[in-house]
Amino acid sequence: MPAWNEEEAIADTLRELRTALPEVDVLVVDDGSEDRTVAVATEAGARVLQLPHNLGVGGAMRAGYKYARRHDYDRTIQVDADGQHDPRDILAVLDGLERADISIGARFAEKGTYEAKGPRRWAMVVLAAVISRIARTRLTDVTSGFRAGNRRAIAQYCEHYPAEYLGDTIDSLVVAVRSGLTVTQVPVEMRPRQAGTPSNNPVKAAIYLLRSFFALALAMTRRRVGADRHRWKED
């Protein structure tokens, strides 16, 4: 669970997670928060990986996957700290790993009431269409941060998980697919965030559109980084 300045929401999210799934190991990756995120998460009983400075969501995610690989986990799932993802859906998303290496908990997939408007919506639709083509499967929500992965996915993410904005979702996914990993999606319902406001500013949405296409274009031309081809030195 990547967290950056989430002291308001993270306690409830963790409590809910522990109630729903007491048997899982919870790792919070603190991305250089300046508030009490670390203290709150530790108190709530999570392991907290504290990055010494802010690396961005992608940076936090790769740190988490490296932890997972080092400690030899079979499966991982990333969940937002703001309570957007319902912990009761976690097992369903994990079940998706039966048929693919990466399983995405997706909005817009029949279930749920999530509505995005304007440029942000267009960006999501086009990105989903393009990545669906590459992955040869129907994906409706490629920017979702609700993603499960098996050992292959963990190794792949350790090799390639850009720290840049949007690299965390689009780029890592596209390169994983191009490296031969399979993807599937599981429809889930997203809830409104527990704290903080989602941005509906049209200018920001337009910038989001441009940046996401740029990230996609870059990811498409990147060299394949095979998780199987060159193994990491550690292990």
Partner 1 sequence: MRTTVFFLVLALIIVALVLRLLRSRVLREKYALLWIVVGVTVLVLAVFPPLLHGVATALGFAVPSNLLFLLGMLLLLGVTLHLSLELSTLEDETRVLAEEAAMARLAHERLERRLERLEAATAAPSARQLSDRQHVPGKGAHAVPVAAPEGPGEGERGVRA
Cα gap 94→75, rounded to integer Å? 8
Work out which of 15, 19, 35, 70 binds partner 1, going by CB under 8 A: 70
- φ, ψ (nearest 5 deg) of residue 93: -65, -40
Residues 23-62 that bind partner 1 (CB under 8 A): 23-27, 29, 39, 42-43, 45-53, 55, 59, 62
- 134 forms part of the interface with partner 1 (CB under 8 A): no
The single residue listed with the structure tokens 């998780």 is 227
- 163 forms part of the interface with partner 1 (CB under 8 A): yes
Q: Which of 192, 194, 195, 170 is nearest to 183 (CA)?
A: 170
Sheet holding 47-50, edge to edge: 2-3, 27-30, 47-50
What residue type is assigned to position 19 of the chain? T
- Pick the closer one to partner 1 by CB: 61 or 177: 61
Smallest separation, CB 79 to partner 1 (Å): 5
E strand or H helix at 67, and its extent? Answer: helix 57-70
- 100 forms part of the interface with partner 1 (CB under 8 A): no
Residue 59's Cβ-side half-sphere holds a number of Cα atoms within 13 Å equal to 15
Stretch that binds partner 1, among 72-80, 137-145, 166-174, 179-187 (CB under 8 A): 72-80
Work out which of 5, 12, 75, 189 binds partner 1, going by CB under 8 A: 75
Strand 47-50 and strand 27-30: the pairing is: parallel
Residues 188-217 that bind partner 1 (CB under 8 A): none
Size, binding site for partner 1 by CB under 8 A: 45
- Binding residues for partner 1, per CB under 8 A? 1, 17-18, 21-27, 29, 39, 42-43, 45-53, 55, 59, 62-64, 66-68, 70-79, 87, 90, 94, 163
